[in-house]
Structure 1
Amino acid sequence: MTAVVDQACVALARVSGDDLRVPLVQGGTTTYANFDYAASAPALAQATDRVQQLLPFYASVHRGAGYASRISTECYEAARGTLTRFLDAADDQVVVFTRNTTDSLNLLAGCVPGDTVVLDIEHHANFLPWNRHGRRVVPAADTVEETIRRLIAGLCTKPVALLAVTGASNVTGEVLPLERLATIAHQCGARILVDAAQLAPHRRISLRDTGIDYLACSGHKLYAPFGAGVLVGRRDWLDAAEPYLAGGGAVRQVSATHTDWAPAPQRHEAGSPNVLGAAALAAACDALSAIDSESLASHERLLAERLRAGLSAIPGVDLLRIWSDSPDTVGIVAFSVDGFAPGEVAAYLSAEHGIGVRDGRFCAHPLLARLGLDGALRASIGLGTCSADVDRLVGAIVTLVESGPAWNYASTDGLWNPTPETRPFSTTDSGAGGAPCVI
């Protein structure tokens, strides 16, 4: 089985940094094991290639007659079409390019004509923006079924405009039944928004088939870390709302006393857009579309099961879960290690083993509070993850529990670091007073 997983790792796609070597605090270097995909995924080769191809033609879009401008405009609008196909958007849904998921959700928050219902498990990006018109927080239960019953009560008590839910928890990776929730929301007279930042890199999504009204996701989690995101959704709310930003490109006509705003998507894309980011995101989506969805899910499932089994067998290691009956989970594993602060464990893994994980509260403070934790560790799996990486992580945690760290670690303002720190970090030369350049 290990050989099958490793072959899948190589065959799925090539990501930048898959051969990166990093320094160790005790001396020497090792190949970097990246378990921080849920924060930002490395770039797919197709995304970086698309940017390199477009760079010589980079120019302002939409109103330029020059050849480079025409090429840039074509690439930018073609990227919109790619996202429409990748997410299988319905005919009345439009693609608005943004900076990231947070930007997308804040944009939509200004368009919602009423209250929004959210769960208390959400990432801050899908929790904080809805205060503008009224936010109703529904506490999640210990099971998905009871959580859905609570959502129904929250939606049907009095009129609600929108149900905003995560596609996959950024802490535990647990997935909600989105098609079912879309049906429930519509039956209660509401629409549904899905924060797909963590779901889109792992699962194929059809807005048309699921009935999802609005979806937000980020390029930097979809293997295109070039600063672009998208909001995809029904046109009417977007056309009726005030523009997200007031400026050039969002208008049809301006006089000294009146502004005639353009319809969506241009209405919410004022200013010079991130052409390269949009092109990179489209290239990544094309690359992901070319991968068999079953192969993608199988690769992830095998590695996640291997990681969960390995961590569960270690005394003092607890895996985090929201629900006992989760129907599906993407490749995100959150855990704690008894007797060690999460930041100390993360620093140890990086400094002594060249392994990158995330620690903290993951911009989901209400969820961590529900779980009774001030912080935890998160290991997230992506296209570049192999079984050898999983075994390294499990082995490093075993060593920590059985023998403790080989180096000293201290926390300063909540940030854990090895003491002394022997690894170079600066990108300036040592003549400027910093560590030697490592790039």
Structure 2
Amino acid sequence: MMNYRHLFDGIEIPVKLGGRRNIIPINFDNGATTPPLKWVNEMVRKNALSYGPIARGAGQKGDKCTEQFEASRESVLDFFNLLGRNDYSVIYVKNTTEGLNLLANVLFEYKDCTVLTTRMEHHANDLPWRHTAHVEYVEVDKSGRISLKEIENHLAQNPSIKFVTVTGASNVTGYINPIHEIARIVHRYDAKLIVDAAQLVAHRAINMAGRCEAEQIDFLVFSGHKMYAPYGAGAIVGLTSYLNNLHPFLRGGGAVDVVLDNDVIWSESPYLHEAGTQNYLGVMALVASMQVLKKIGFDEIEEHETRIKNYLLKELSKIPEVILYGDVDYSVNRLGVIVFNVRGIHFEEVAFKLASQFGIATRYGKFCAHPYVDRMLGINEEQRQISEHTHNGEDIGMVRISLGLYNTMGEAKDFIHSLRCLIYHH
């Protein structure tokens, strides 16, 4: 197996375990956020030395930054196989949540539009739509998957559905959804597809153009901090025609062409949706991370992470006390995301002991996907309401492992050993 740890900053910094000794930590919480690549940090440092305002006045530094900032949009389009496509805009935001909120607030001219989404979604791809439109949901099956047939049934039965929004990959089970097949179905019913690519973007190549027009992804949203560029930048890549001639989500300088006493003439996309001073350094970090991931190659990234994921699934399946959720079939198309519980030990205790005793970072709880986790745990709405009322929900949850490019098979073996020690010395 390849070892990519030399490409990253900070991952070899020791942590203290109970004040007794220092240890190199294991970070298995990459689904939350990721450490920076060295090349990303170098590009931030280099560009900070010539930092100036974007499109604000005249000056050599500002002019250079403006030129690089605008050129970065082409780099993003190229990353998603859209280079030269003038029908797509790249709008910079701070993260996926802001991007999805922006879309939810600008795509609808009237409130009685319907959006179709799924019960697999992160809250960021659920709650914004609840606020601005009618929402229908595609249910998940017992394994936590969504059905393409159910998506088509909703579209066939409700012609008011104009947008379908789905996660590219679940932050709970790691399931990868067939976004191009979904696009074919969505376009057949004259609707548009929005993809939350926060979890997918660092792990699989995404071809927004598809193999034909029917497979193209209309809107895609992602965050740099999920792809080794944690400097506060993310982006929307979407159809320009749908993003023009709208009222912006944020209003202020940079989003307007003319302001009169009693009227405003707004700019066109992407500037219409980028009010205020831009996060130039964050965008440079984002583009730098894309350069590294493309150079490594997504086939290599997938192979590396899949080997570790399969090893963990195999070894966890051997521990009688461990309850795994979702399909553990190795052939299932999923990221290196695994959720589990340990019989007889509260999930929060498992996570805290892994961290405090072994220096292993995981995530615990419901991962900002409460309806989905409840379904994976087999908890219905009535049971959940009773639990939330009596225990503040503290007895419901899981532990999550989520892999990154820099993780190794040695770390996976250490994790299995540590979990066994935790269980059998409980």
If the length of structure 1 is used for normalisation, what is the TM-score?
0.87
Q: What is the aligned-residue RMSD (CA, Å)?
A: 1.8
Contact residue 176 and residue 327 of structure 1 kept, 8 A: no
Query: Which residue does the alignment assign to 1:140?
Result: 140
Contact residue 16 and residue 23 of structure 2 kept, 8 A: yes
Note if 1:115 corresponds to 2:114: yes
Note if 1:43 corresponds to 2:36: yes
Query: Which residue does the alignment assign to 1:125?
Result: 124
CA drift at 1:323: 9.6
Cα offsets for 1:148-170 (capped at 9, x unmatched): 11111112212211110010000
Query: Which residue does the alignment assign to 1:93?
Result: 88
Separation (CA, whole Å) in 1 of partners of 2:149 and 2:179: 14
Query: Which residue does the alignment assign to 2:392?
Result: none
Query: Which residue does the alignment assign to 2:390?
Result: none
Note if 1:399 corresponds to 2:392: no
Segments ≥4 residues shifted beyond 6 Å: 143-146, 322-326
Cα offsets for 1:338-381 (capped at 9, x unmatched): 11111111110111101111111000000111122621011111
Separation (CA, whole Å) in 1 of partners of 2:48 and 2:188: 48
Query: Which residue does the alignment assign to 1:206?
Result: 207
Report the residue type matching 1:80 in the other structure. R
Contact residue 163 and residue 192 of structure 2 kept, 8 A: yes
What are the residue-to-residue correspondences of 1:2-17 with 2, within 5 Å?
5=1, 8-10=2-4, 14-17=7-10
SS at match of 2:236: strand
SS at match of 1:163: strand
Separation (CA, whole Å) in 2 of partners of 1:241 and 1:27: 59
CA drift at 1:325: 10
Report the residue type matching 1:109 in the other structure. A
**Judging changes above 3 Å, is the alpha-carbon distance between structure 1 residues 143 and 184 closer, same or farther for their aligned structure 2 residues?**
farther
**Judging changes above 3 Å, is the alpha-carbon distance between structure 1 residues 308 and 144 closer, same or farther for their aligned structure 2 residues?**
closer
Cα offsets for 1:58-77 (capped at 9, x unmatched): 12111321111012112211
Contact residue 317 and residue 335 of structure 1 kept, 8 A: yes
Report the residue type matching 2:44 in the other structure. V
Separation (CA, whole Å) in 2 of partners of 1:134 and 1:106: 15
CA drift at 1:146: 6.7
Report the residue type matching 2:274 in the other structure. E
Report the residue type matching 2:73 in the other structure. R
Separation (CA, whole Å) in 2 of partners of 1:319 and 1:235: 43
Cα offsets for 1:36-69 (capped at 9, x unmatched): 1110000011111110001111121113211110
SS at match of 2:261: coil
Separation (CA, whole Å) in 2 of partners of 1:25 and 1:119: 42
Report the residue type matching 1:383 in the other structure. L
Query: Which residue does the alignment assign to 2:267?
Result: 262
Identify the match of residue 23 of structure 2 among 16, 22, 30: 30
Identify the match of residue 351 of structure 1 among 350, 356, 360: 356
Q: Which moved more, 1:272-281 or 1:233-242?
A: 233-242
Note if 1:233 corresponds to 2:234: no
Separation (CA, whole Å) in 1 of partners of 2:272 and 2:190: 26
Report the residue type matching 2:171 in the other structure. N
If the length of structure 2 is used for normalisation, what is the TM-score?
0.90
Report the residue type matching 1:343 in the other structure. E
Contact residue 335 and residue 378 of structure 1 kept, 8 A: yes
Contact residue 365 and residue 397 of structure 2 kept, 8 A: yes
Aligned length: 397
Query: Which residue does the alignment assign to 1:175?
Result: 176
CA drift at 1:181: 0.3
SS at match of 1:328: coil
Question: Identity, % of aligned pairs?
Answer: 35
Query: Which residue does the alignment assign to 1:379?
Result: 401
Contact residue 145 and residue 175 of structure 2 kept, 8 A: no
Report the residue type matching 1:208 in the other structure. A
Query: Which residue does the alignment assign to 1:422?
Result: none
Report the residue type matching 1:43 in the other structure. P
What are the residue-to-residue correspondences of 1:167-316 with 2, within 5 Å?
167-209=168-210, 210-316=215-321
Long gaps (5+) in structure 1: 405-439
Report the residue type matching 1:377 in the other structure. V
Report the residue type matching 1:92 in the other structure. D
SS at match of 1:121: coil
Cα offsets for 1:263-294 (capped at 9, x unmatched): 10000000001111111001001111111222
Separation (CA, whole Å) in 2 of partners of 1:93 and 1:53: 29
Separation (CA, whole Å) in 2 of partners of 1:146 and 1:121: 8
Query: Which residue does the alignment assign to 1:164?
Result: 165
CA drift at 1:19: 1.0
Report the residue type matching 1:256 in the other structure. D
Separation (CA, whole Å) in 2 of partners of 1:268 and 1:375: 37
**Judging changes above 3 Å, is the alpha-carbon distance between structure 1 residues 284 and 337 closer, same or farther for their aligned structure 2 residues?**
same
CA drift at 1:318: 1.6
